[in-house]
């Protein structure tokens, strides 16, 4: 199996080629500072497996022509499967992170149908060129038992076995990942922060909030696979009850039900109020920002990260994120504030199965995923 031969050294080589776009063997030796014979052996194996390919020879001004290498965008692909509340999606993506097929999607009425539906969609996407499979879902994933143990997708707290998906993939590696971890992998692939740079990546959606702690570019997995459960950190606030059984969860605060709880006459949903954030004063939204900022600042003060990424799929949300960032800074310790970078990441294009596929690609290119 190819993935059994992907070690930190070969990931280092693949990252060098990925970042450069195209490079010769001699350039790869220089970029990685590895022995020439080691690089040549690795390149031969990666060419044979369809991960790298040679491209048309460049014609130098003098000397022998060089044959550049690049990540092969055709020979192999990964499949991403996303399990979300009431919906399953699947899609193929090449090794450059580019979708190669339309997303296949199916609505699901009951959590008990999530895994069978995911099986059906995955079966349609697999073929002989499939290198890996990425499966994502919100909540806790027990990788040892292949179970989704605590999730908004299955709020009755009954574990869902993902083992049928692992079995269907056969000898292909299956990456079981929290959905926010997967979105952090998408961000990492685009922004490529310094390797020794700790980042708290927070995903914000209406009624859903998750966070991933990236330490030296690697996710902190904790005792059970899942993003850091920032969404279920609680404040002593009266909110609609969360599926976890408690009130005051941050992801309940960042929700349309809470907006209507504090403003019963509100007719617009949270996304609409966020779109209007720069044009209309909204006491309800200001309350949500202040409470959310308390929770995020507490996390920053505890973890002492260099970067806080506020990520969302909600369109036209930059003014809201700016206000949220200002509110967070007002609660972060002064010594940390001087060092803290707060970045916005608005991604309305990446579909959930794309993020699942990126989680698989992260295992190919990055150590610790």
Burial track 195-227 (b if 16+ CB lie within 10 A, e otherwise): eeebbbbbbbbbbbbbbbbbeebebebeebbbb
Residue 204 has what pLDDT? 96
Q: How many CB atoms lie within 10 A of CB 246?
A: 12
Strands (E), 243-333: 307-312
Domain extents for the chain? Answer: 2-71, 77-184+352-365, 192-346
Separation of CA 145 from chain center: 22
**Is there a contact between 93 and 357 (Cβ–Cβ < 8 Å)?**
yes
Residue 229 has what pLDDT? 82
Nearest CA to 175 among 368, 15, 345? 368
Q: What is the pLDDT of residues 91-144, one digit of tens each?
A: 999 999 999 989 999 999 999 999 999 999 999 999 999 999 999 999 889 888
Q: Is 290 left (phi over 0), alpha (psi -120 to 50) or beta?
A: alpha
> Higher pLDDT residue, 289 or 64?
289
Nearest CA to 129 among 74, 202, 191, 62? 74
Which CATH entry fits the domain spanning 77-184+352-365: 3.40.50.20, 3.30.1390.10, 1.10.10.10, 3.30.420.40?
3.30.420.40
Q: Cβ contacts of residue 50 below 8 Å, gap of 6+?
A: 72, 75, 76, 129
Nearest CA to 81 among 125, 112, 39? 125
The CA distances from residue 365 to 3, 6, 95, 350, in Å, are 11, 9, 10, 19
Q: Cβ contacts of residue 297 below 8 Å, gap of 6+?
A: 328, 329, 330, 331, 332
Most confident option among 185-194, 196-205, 216-225: 196-205
Count Cβ atoms within 10 A of the Cβ of residue 167 and give its class: 0-12 exposed, 13-18 middle, 19 or more buried.
Answer: exposed
What angle (nearest 5°) sits at the alpha carbon of residue 168, between those of residues 164 and 171?
A: 120
Nearest CA to 355 among 187, 205, 219? 187
Would 2-71 and 77-184+352-365 be classified into the same CATH topology?
Answer: no
CATH 3.90.230.10 assigned to 2-71: no
Percent of the chain with pLDDT over 70: 93
Q: Which of 5-9, 136-140, 223-227 has the lowest mean pLDDT?
A: 223-227
Residue 282 has what pLDDT? 82
Q: What is the pLDDT of residues 12-31, one digit of tens each?
A: 999 999 999 999 999 999 99
Q: How many CB atoms lie within 10 A of CB 285?
A: 22
Separation of CA 287 from chain center: 28
**Is there a contact between 81 and 61 (Cβ–Cβ < 8 Å)?**
no
2 is written with which tokens? 């190819």
Q: Name the strands in the sheet holding 199-205, side by side, starting at the edge strand that comes first in the sequence.
A: 218-219, 208-215, 199-205, 307-312, 341-346
Q: Round to whole Å and give the CA distance between 234 and 247.
A: 7
188 is written with which tokens? 């990492």
Instruction: Evaluate the CA torsion angle 182, 186, 187, 193 in order and state its sign.
Output: positive
Query: What is the mean predicted confidence (pLDDT) over 200-208?
Result: 94
Residue in the block written with tokens 């001087």? 338
Query: What is the mean predicted confidence (pLDDT) over 231-239?
Result: 93
Q: What is the pLDDT of residues 154-189, one digit of tens each?
A: 887 688 999 999 999 999 999 999 999 899 988 887
Task: Indicate whether 354 pLDDT > 90.
Answer: yes
pTM metric for this prediction = 0.88
CATH superfamily of 192-346: ATPase, nucleotide binding domain (3.30.420.40)
Report the mean per-residue pLDDT for the chain.
Answer: 90
Residue 283 has what pLDDT? 86
Most confident option among 188-192, 196-200, 278-282, 320-324: 320-324
Task: Indicate whether 281 pLDDT > 70.
Answer: no
Q: Which of 79-88, 226-235, 274-283 has the lowest mean pLDDT?
A: 274-283
Task: Indicate whether 1 pLDDT > 60.
Answer: no
End-to-end CA distance of the chain: 18
Q: Which secondary-structure segment (H or E) carries 174?
A: strand 174-178
Radius of gyration of the chain (CA): 22
């Amino acid at each position: 199996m190819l993935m059994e031969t992907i070690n930190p050294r070969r990931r280092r080589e693949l990252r060098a080629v990925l970042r450069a776009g195209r490079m010769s063997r001699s350039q790869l030796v220089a970029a990685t500072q590895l022995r020439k014979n080691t690089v040549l052996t690795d390149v031969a194996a990666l060419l044979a497996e369809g991960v790298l390919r040679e491209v048309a020879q460049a014609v130098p001004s003098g000397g022998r022509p060089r044959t550049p290498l690049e990540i092969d965008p055709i020979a192999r692909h990964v499949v991403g499967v996303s399990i979300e509340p009431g919906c399953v999606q699947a899609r193929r993506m090449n090794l450059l992170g580019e979708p190669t097929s339309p997303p296949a999607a199916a609505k699901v009425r009951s959590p008990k149908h999530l895994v069978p539906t995911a099986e059906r969609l995955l079966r349609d996407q697999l073929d002989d060129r499939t290198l890996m499979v990425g499966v994502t879902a919100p909540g806790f994933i027990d990788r040892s038992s292949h179970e989704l143990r605590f999730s908004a997708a299955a709020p009755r707290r009954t574990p869902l076995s993902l083992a049928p998906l692992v079995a269907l993939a056969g000898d292909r590696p299956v990456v079981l990942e929290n959905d926010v971890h997967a979105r952090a992998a998408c961000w990492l692939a685009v922004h490529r922060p310094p390797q020794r740079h700790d980042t708290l990546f927070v995903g914000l959606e209406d009624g859903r909030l998750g966070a991933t702690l990236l330490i030296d570019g690697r996710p902190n997995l904790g005792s059970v696979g899942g993003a850091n459960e920032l969404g279920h950190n609680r404040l002593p606030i009266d909110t609609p009850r969360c599926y976890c059984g408690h009130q005051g969860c941050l992801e309940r605060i960042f929700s349309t039900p809470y907006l209507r709880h504090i403003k019963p006459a509100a007719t617009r949903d949270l996304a609409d109020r966020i779109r209007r954030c720069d044009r209309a004063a909204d006491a309800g939204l200001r309350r949500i920002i202040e409470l959310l900022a308390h929770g995020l600042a507490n996390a920053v003060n505890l973890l002492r990260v260099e970067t806080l990424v506020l990520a969302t799929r909600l369109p036209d949300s930059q003014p809201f994120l700016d206000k949220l960032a200002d509110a967070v800074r007002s609660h972060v310790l002064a010594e940390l504030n001087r060092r803290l970078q707060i970045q916005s990441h608005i991604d309305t294009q990446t579909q959930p199965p794309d993020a699942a596929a990126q989680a698989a690609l992260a295992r190919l290119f990055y150590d610790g995923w």
